[in-house]
Chain A
Amino acid sequence: MTRTFLTQNRSVFWFLLALGIFALIVTVLSDAAGNGMISTSFVKTLGKTLCLMLVAVAMDVVWGYTGILSLGHMAFFGLGGYMIGMWLMYARTEIIVTESLLAAAIPPTPQEIHDAIGTQIFGVVGSSEFPAIWIFAHSFWLQIAMVVLVPGLLALVFGWLAFRSRVTGVYLSILTQAMTLALSLYLFQNESGLRGNNGLSGLQNLPGLDDVPQATLSIAFFWASATALGLGYVLFAWVTSGKFGSVIRGIRDNESRVRFLGYHVEGYKLFVFTLTGIVAGIAGALYYPQAGIINPNEIAPIASIYLAVWVAIGGRGRLYGAALGAAFVSLLSSWFTSGAVPSVPLGFYTIQWTDWWLVLLGVSFVAVTLLAPKGIGGLFDLISTRHPTPARVGDFGPDTGARRTAEGEEEK
């Protein structure tokens, strides 16, 4: 049997197939197809969920494969959202402002239009000047480049600083948490130039596409998110397979040993950290136009912890596990918090799920960690005829929660 990429990563085929079928079904049933079985708002929820799945897959590569528990990846996600949000707000405000200025007797100069946009956008924070970071906001392509560059650069600089001083384990987790906290606190200030705690809003209205109904837009974004997820999945499956994958799994299981074998551990970690940061940024750039609003709360430390929770519940060390975990927990969470779940009357007390959902989530999370460290992904081992986990005697290393594949298999 030839060892091709697909035969080595059979989950890629099944995942793409399932994703494609799912996307088709949603499209057919959506408002845009005139069917109306799935409301536009639910299509948006599904589209957003796909973006969360993408960032969860990235998180799985960082945590489940490389062993870096980053509690800051939602910062990159949020930054991606901010970057696209800047263009969306600028371009849309530009259209509105130009229309109103053209009503005057004298046509506006470019400078006037620019100033008027500034007044319009920054009025809420008592300013009308464009901060320096909006310098590229007028251009769609430049700002798209920023979606990749800003999270990428932040991940690169932060990762370089952290990895070169050999901060590992829980220290690194705390440090990444500090990073996202610092970023969100910074963005909360009005002086940050991103409208403080007002955030960027009205992102669901795409400039120039006012005539296109939201139903169509939501399906378009849904497909864009599905495509991004598919591509991201293939990318990360490729990254984590082969020799590179073996090295990063080695780093996860015993960093010193890999270093003594002559690998430049910091380089590998930095690459993974930055790549996943960029993908998180792209996922955020697709997420926030569907959400419509972004504010600094979105990158508070708690968001990144939830990301880790999704991956842990889904099952670390397998990409489809992380994706399923994100979808499962986030959809379940929005179902429970929507109030649609019937209350449980206990006679003396009625359990309102909107109040008790977080308690349930917390407790079940502890239970998953303790009792089923493989998470949802572990269920697939039960139905799989092939048991790739080798019956190996002895300890793989400290992190028994994550699934092992290739190394043990190849030894046989």
Chain B
Amino acid sequence: MPRMFALALSLALCLLLPPSPGAAQDPGPLQTLLQSQADEVASPGRQTVASVIEALVASELPQVPDFLNRWAEREVVQDETTGLFYYDGTPPRDIDTGAPVTLDPGAELEDVRPNGGVRRVIATALVQFQLSDPDIARRTDALDSISRNPEPDQLAPLRASIEIETDPVLKARKERLAGMLAARYGATPEIRIAAIDALSDALAVDVRAVLNQILTTRSGVADRLPEDRNIARTLTPGDDLSEAEAYARLVEAGLAPARQSPDEIKAVLTDNIDDGRVGGVPIGQLASEAGRARAYAALAEAGTVPPLVTEGDIDAALAAHVFYEEYTEDDPAITEAARAALNEVETRVAMNQALDLGLDALSLASIYFLAAIGLAITFGVMGVINMAHGEFIMMGAYTGYVVQQIIPDYTLSLIVALPLAFAVTFAAGVAMERLVIRWLYHRPLETLLATFGISIALQQLAKNIFGTQARPLTSPSWLDGAWVLNDVVGIANIRIAIFLLALIFLGLILLVLNKTRLGLEVRAVTQNPGMAASMGINPDKINMLTFGLGSGIAGIAGIAIGLYAQVTSEMGANYIVQSFMTVVVGGVGNVWGTLAGATLIGGLQKGIEFFNPSNTLAAQTYMILFIILFIQFRPKGIVALKGRAAGD
């Protein structure tokens, strides 16, 4: 009663006082609301701000979103004398109408500065207004904010905003987000299970994150398996977790004494040295485990240290307890549904990953094919291993680089560079054949070495001309970016282009070999040079042209490789062994063989990398081992020449 009276009195006093200029007009509804919790608004704390926001939201005033926004942006000021709030500015503006106000000259304006935590709470509250904001960018921002930082109370406003959403993309996104929120925060188990089931046909990372969130477990240990918990699985020490780990959990739960590590034992022994002896054992005997154990046992018996935890103690402790993982979610029906949904999602993800891996492998295979096909042609036709093939690849790549220095337009320079690289390496190949290789046809092993001599000379020459640092071969902008099928499957455009290039060259080579006079003669020389010569074919000319052709393709491959890797003087050397492998595995003297070899090696390398993604070195090692074993079973490669053409 007396409080009521005091209140009435003060109210009466207020009315009696002359009105101040700042409060000339009646405070608006928002101002009134704010004044009712003026302290919390002026210096909000993370805990207290919730009630203010709740009241603001409940009022459903149209000015609230704007106010919340400015509040978070620290644009609200308070008049120290009257306690009224204004928007910052010169002059300050009214909080309800936004109209400029004139204040008392004596008014002291103080900034309202909510801290970071409070601003986050305000931002979360703002989301519901932003979700139905007319500006589409604000709506998108709001959705981003929800998916970054989902909260249970966002579900209702999100649902409400779906109805009025006009943009179909955003609508779909909202529905997805609502589904994910419902799966985690739905009101009843039935709603949640329904939402979880609906998630099972998704693929995206965030959906998997939601399901994993529901399936979060914590580890536990007890005498018996607790009945009332939602147990995910029980763990057997030794199988599911190591015995040391299991014991560490027991220690952590306070169910067993900590085990003394050798270091701790040593430290304890050091602390207890007494006149050259520890627990009666001379220090000299402590150089063995047995001596230390005796000394420690003596100390333990004397009560100086806790008794040693032995292996037997550990085994007994492990046997007496059960280790398990329990879901943080209590309802087994929900975790089961989430588990089923996650399994379904993961199966689909795995299938898509396999598809992605297939694409990667295909792209790698096309690179190997491009790098190796020239080698296969020269090797098949002439029985000559060209160790300088890798340097021809490098030469092609550097040609592309030089062209780009002259022609700044990337598309145009690429169009110029491709035939130019072919021409340059064709010429180099012909020159090498004329000057070196044709003198060595009867000495294949020496060809290998002579071409190696050319290879080191060319490599060093490139180093001297272009320096040791990597040179970029920039792809035109239309080759940037990637073709993304979904969250899992995607492939860079440049790799698609290389794949197409490989296809084109496969077609071209088949066409040349099978449909032209030159191809006929090449095949004749491949199968039997002596007979071909008797038939009026000039094997010298054919050899020269074949070598030029093989080298020319290496130049093209150089540009393709240079576009996605960098151009260095050693880039050819990096591909040469793989190219040899491709030719050897595929079988000599056959385009299809090279294709099969490239596919096998590309697929294999990606496959091994998949099982051990962090370690590409190991992948290469295992691949080479596989090839060595493969040669055991098919020494002539996948596609072996038969009959007289085989040459033996």
Contacts and interface: CB of A to CB of B under 8 A. Distances in A.
Contacts of A369: 440, 446, 449-450, 453
A322 B582 CA distance: 33
Contacts of A69: 445, 448-449
Contacts of B461: 359
Given A366-B436, A369-B453, A370-B440, A111 B289 contact: yes
A170 B376 CA distance: 13
A112 B262 contact: yes
B444 interface: yes
Nearest to A300: B573
A285 B262 CA distance: 38
Contacts of A173: 385, 445, 448
B67 interface: no
A398 interface: yes
Nearest to A71: B448
B439 interface: yes
Interface string A365-401: 1100110010000000000000000000000001111
A312 B457 contact: no
B580 interface: yes
Contact of A186 (B443, B463, B577, B618): B618
A356 B453 contact: no
Interface string B427-461: 00000000010011011111011101111111111
A361 interface: yes
Interface in B544-601: 573, 577, 580-581, 584
A107 B286 CA distance: 6
Given A309-B449, A398-B443, A355 B635 contact: no
B16 interface: no
A305 B390 CA distance: 15
A359 B618 CA distance: 33
A370 B436 contact: yes
Contact of B385 (A170, A185, A364, A365): A170
B292 interface: yes
Contacts of A167: 631, 635
A203 to B, nearest CB: 24
Contacts of B463: 355
Interface string B264-286: 00100110010000100001101
A200 B283 CA distance: 36
A359 B460 contact: yes
A373 to B, nearest CB: 7
A111 B290 CA distance: 12
Interface residues of A, number: 59
B288 interface: yes
B632 interface: yes
Nearest to B292: A109
Interface in A98-116: 104-112
A319 interface: no
Interface residues of B, number: 58
A167 B383 CA distance: 15
B448 A362 contact: no
A107 B617 contact: no
Interface in A173-222: 173-175, 177-179, 181-182, 185-186, 188-189, 191
A166 interface: yes
Contact of A181 (B278, B288, B436, B577): B577
A131 interface: no
Contacts of B253: none
B577 A178 contact: yes
Contacts of A170: 379, 383, 385, 444-445, 448
Contacts of B573: 302
Nearest to B456: A362
A252 B266 CA distance: 66
Given A69-B445, A105-B273, A181-B577, A363 B621 contact: no
Nearest to A369: B450
A33 interface: no
A401 B621 contact: no
A171 B635 contact: yes
A4 interface: no
Contact of B450 (A189, A302, A370): A370
Given A175-B631, A177-B577, A358 B456 contact: yes
B628 interface: yes
Contacts of A161: 628-629, 632
A155 B379 CA distance: 27
A308 interface: yes
B620 interface: yes
B613 to A, nearest CB: 14
A308 B446 CA distance: 10
B625 interface: yes
A169 interface: yes
Given A108-B287, A161-B632, A173-B385, A312 B456 contact: no
Contacts of B213: none
A369 B581 CA distance: 26
A338 interface: no
B496 interface: no
A301 interface: yes
A309 B618 contact: no
A165 interface: yes
A365 B289 contact: no
A363 B452 CA distance: 10
A104 B618 contact: no
Interface in A212-251: none
Nearest to B385: A170
A362 B615 contact: no
B627 interface: yes
Given A106-B269, A170-B444, A174-B580, A365 B617 contact: no
- Taking each of B266, B385, B621, which has the highest tally of chain A beta carbons within 10 Å of its own beta carbon? B621
B460 A373 contact: no
Contacts of B287: 107-110
Contacts of B454: 362, 366
Contact of A182 (B385, B440, B445, B625): B625
A362 B581 contact: no
A105 B632 contact: no
Nearest to A161: B632
A312 B444 CA distance: 14
A380 B278 CA distance: 77
Contacts of A158: 628
B486 interface: no
A166 B385 CA distance: 19
B464 A366 contact: no
A150 B269 CA distance: 44
Nearest to A296: B617
Q: Which 6 A-B pairs have the closest CB atoms?
A: A362-B457, A365-B453, A358-B460, A182-B624, A107-B287, A366-B453
13 contacts: A109-B286, A109-B289, A110-B287, A170-B383, A175-B628, A182-B621, A186-B617, A301-B577, A305-B449, A308-B449, A308-B452, A363-B457, A370-B450
Interface of B: 262, 266, 269-270, 273, 278, 283-284, 286-289, 292, 379, 383, 385, 436, 439-440, 442-446, 448-450, 452-461, 463-464, 573, 577, 580-581, 584, 615, 617-618, 620-621, 624-625, 627-629, 631-633, 635
Given A189-B617, A356-B460, 9 more contacts: A106-B283, A106-B292, A162-B628, A170-B385, A186-B617, A186-B618, A370-B439, A373-B443, A398-B444
